[in-house]
Amino acid sequence: MNPLELPFSRTRHDRAAHRRTETGLLDRLRQESTTHALVLHRKRLAVVGADAPRAALLAPAGLPEGTWVYLGEDDGSTYVALLLPDDVEDPPPPAGADGWAGLRELTAGQAEALAADEDPTVLVHGLSVEAVALAGWHGTHQRCGRCGTPTVVVQGGWARHCPVDERETYPRTDPAVIMAVVDDADRLLLGHAATWPEGRFSTLAGFVEAGEALEDTVRREVAEESGVVVGTAPGDVVYRGSQAWPFPASLMLGFRARAVATEVRTDDEEVTDARWFARAELHDAAAAGEISLPGRHSIARALIEEWYGAELPGAW
């Protein structure tokens, strides 16, 4: 498990990647009684349960047409996902499901069960994260990136093949760094984004650029967004854990970073305010509602609370 408590990273099933190339895999699995299907439409999952909905696990027989992908196996059962066509407007939930829900909503409703490592919540949530990430990729990669020809789904839904230039493309993930920047007085740097409601603060973050090492991304993003300088000595940028964030295709890589120059000068475009918080100051501001901190399922929250050493009050 990750060193941080990260609900999106909780998973139990075996992706069994070696099975993806089996001939006729999905056609065969759809006939088997041990196969269970998650159904998605535009990255929303068919769900059961009203209070804390979770992805419905349905028998494949009788489900409508769509793209089938192989997710993996666990304890004698096999799991697949059915991606309904994007161009269908408002499809009804399949028989056996109560409605549709997005992954953030599901995660929020299951946060306690995930934190307690409860089954089958962990199993179903892990499958849901995988399925949503794949659904997002299929939705935006219907054509070959080189010649524009419609591509064909192969390898159990884990690749798309261009029949013209025999090129295959694979699901991509966009790395992003997110960092708890701490100074030598043990204060934490948090920023306020231009698009956020007043009082909302979180750790700085940003996408890794082409040809860039993670440590350099951390230093560049902190400098761009806050003017603060992160050190280059060994140990000044330390990896803490990661969390899939398929909105649409990110992988959040969490770091602790040490500031060597603390003067704040925000870019006033992405980040309009950045402040240093001492421990008691952050706790009291959050408790009083003067600031609000990131949601409890985010890696930002985990990084902040890891620095603080305990849970903090309030959340978005």
Span from 52-60, 83-91, 157-165, 205-213 in contact with Zn ion (CB under 5 A): 157-165
Residue whose CB is less far from Zn ion, 58 or 144: 144
- CB of 1 or CB of 164, closer to Zn ion: 164
Q: Which residues, 6+ apart, have CB-to-CB distance to 270 below 8 Å?
A: 193, 194, 224, 225
Tell me the residue type at 205: A
CB closer to Zn ion out of 148 and 313: 148
Residue 147 interacts with Zn ion (CB under 5 A): yes or no: yes
Q: How far is the CB of 4 from Zn ion (least distance, A)?
A: 41
Residue 164 within binding range of Zn ion, rule CB under 5 A: yes
Work out how close the CB of 67 gets to Zn ion at its nearest, in angstroms, rounded to a whole number. 19
Contact 277, 187 (CB under 8 A): yes
Residues 49 and 57 sit within 8 Å (Cβ to Cβ): no
Cβ-contact 97, 56 below 8 angstroms: yes
- Which of these segments, 159-167, 173-181, 184-192, 271-279, binds Zn ion (CB under 5 A)? 159-167
Find the part of the chain contacting Zn ion (CB under 5 A) among 31-39, 76-84, 148-156, 212-220: 148-156
As a whole number of Å, the CA-based R_g of the chain is: 22
* Among the residue ranges 84-92, 120-128, 161-169, 286-294, the one whose residues contact Zn ion (CB under 5 A): 161-169
Q: Which of 28, 146, 172, 265 binds Zn ion (CB under 5 A)?
A: 146
Q: Which of these, 233, 224, 188, lies nearest to 205 by C-alpha position?
A: 224
Closest to Zn ion by CB, 146 vs 172, is 146
Contacts with Zn ion, 95-134, as mask; x by CB under 5 A: ----------------------------------------
Whether 154 and 168 have beta carbons less than 8 Å apart is answered as yes
Cβ-based burial of 195 (10 A; exposed 0-12, middle 13-18, buried ≥19):
exposed
CA 286 to chain CA centroid, Å, is 25
Give burial (CB, 10 Å; 0-12/13-18/19+) of 254.
Answer: buried
Cβ 29 vs Cβ 48: under 8 Å: no
Nearer to Zn ion, 159 or 264 (CB): 159
At residue 266, what is the residue type? T
Considering only residues 36-95, where is the footprint of Zn ion by CB under 5 A? none
Does 152 bind Zn ion (CB under 5 A)? Our answer is: no
Query: Which listed residue (34, 140, 149, 232) binds Zn ion by CB under 5 A?
Result: 149
Calpha distance 168→61 (Å, rounded): 30
From CA 153, how far away is CA 313, in angstroms rounded?
46
Cis preceding linkage at 120, omega within 30: yes
Rule CB under 5 A: choose which of 144, 181, 237, 244 binds Zn ion.
144
Closest approach of Cβ 153 to Zn ion, in Å? 15
Among 162, 228, 282, 285, binds Zn ion (CB under 5 A): 162
- How far apart are CB 80 and Zn ion at their closest, in Å? 27
Residues between 213 and 272 that touch Zn ion (CB under 5 A): none
Q: Kindly state the tokens that stand for 257.
A: 């970073």
Binding site for Zn ion (CB under 5 A): 144, 146-147, 149, 162, 164-165
